[in-house]
Structure 1
Amino acid sequence: MRPVPPSIRLLLPALLLCSLPAHALELKGRLEWVHKVEMRIVENGVVEEVNITAGQHVNKDELLLRMDQRKQKASLLEARARVARAKLSMEDAEREQARTQELFDRGLIAEEELKDGELKQAVATTELESAKAAEEAAQVALGFTELKAPFSGVIAANTAWQGAVIFAAKQDQPLISLAPDDQMLARVLVTADVLRRYPVGTAAQIQVNGDARSGKVYSQGVEAVRIEPEGAIYELDIIFKRNAKELLRPSEAVKVMLP
């Protein structure tokens, strides 16, 4: 086997370096919630109970806030009483119709009287259905006096306090803001050329408080946030999982490494 000339040996490291993949793109970014739900009360009333504070983790369906429910509970009781009366009227109409049908079958009454009995039964049926609808509406109104967590997450903001008077039509800001805290976004600003290089699903690395996390491109900005001399600047979001018992906050600085 012929020895490799010295000139060729000098070229090999350079050729090897050229064949290696380019270094990852390192960008500075900030943390953001994946999404946030702003919760308001749709019934007027007074806040009776607040069970949360900002930064607190809550589980799905956990009670966050309750209004004074006396009015709604009274309406529900009245609606249930109306249903009970309507059921009694319905049973009475059914018994009367059965007797009327028997008399008609024996030829003791005219057809008009039979039809009157059928009409009374139909009216009783309609009144029962109306009473049931009113009961359902009262039950919904009672439910509107409470705010429960639609998912597990962290209380991002709370502006509700016990004793506060709430007018449903005049809530300038939400009473409670809830965000999922099992995942977060690392948001970086990039040019359109960079955006095109990293489609949704591309693997990425995020450095949070000195700890490296695995993530992937979650979404790409459509509208530019600003225009720079090098071109339009867009948002690129990378999603990653939060460690257990770790509290991360939006706007914290992070580093993002893209391949």
Structure 2
Amino acid sequence: MEHPILFLCLILEKLGLPSGWHYYEEADKYGVLAQLLAPHMVHSYFVIGIILILALVARSKRDFLPGAFQNVWEFLVENIYEFTKSNLPHDKFDKLMPTVFPLITTYSLYILFSNLLGLIPGFMSPTANINVTMGLTLITIIYYHYLGLKYKGLAYFKDFLGPMPWLIPLMLPAEIFSHLGRLLSLSFRLFGNLLSKEILLGILTMLGGKFFAPLPVMILGVAVGFIQTFIFVLLSLVYFAGAVEEHH
């Protein structure tokens, strides 16, 4: 399948910057800048910019009687807060919330906006690239190990050994493979669903026209965008909670 026409990359290319798949695939020829301005990176910057602008506008227009825009943001933040609260251990809630809640909020907004961006013609979903989803997953994996060590110390490694010494030869390999599996499943699930949606949209557009043929897939794409955001956030919270909970 040919590379799609991406407006942001075309704009940067007109400005003389190496942005596009052909530059990225020949990064040894065009240098580090071609990697920094790869299509998935450019669209990731774009999503981050949109979120920052919306957040700054919402912050600058806080009123005692909120308008529609402020109500939407308050609704989003409040629901993310309650969802995070309900999935963290109650005895460690006060200590975990100041660091976990901002990360989960960032995950929710970034992944959702990235998922939905690909539904706009001339744009792509950054989360349809394995580099992006793997990066997000690594943040989750590293952070929940950090939480485990922070709250349990070296006793955290006992969780990998099982309840009895004679089970260590069985439990240790199983736990190691389990954690490696999390790295693969969390990143490939998000990447695979978004990539398949974009490929299907491209095929239907070529076969059936630009308007009505892709419409069912676009509707499905909206649902996939929300569902995959929810799954990624939920699993991240489960891993955070599991790292700090005492196992009996």
Q: If the length of structure 1 is used for normalisation, what is the TM-score?
A: 0.22
Query: Which structure has the highest helix share of the two?
Result: 2
Q: If the length of structure 2 is used for normalisation, what is the TM-score?
A: 0.23
Query: Which structure has the highest strand share of the two?
Result: 1
- Look at both structures and tell me which one has the larger radius of gyration over its CA atoms: 1
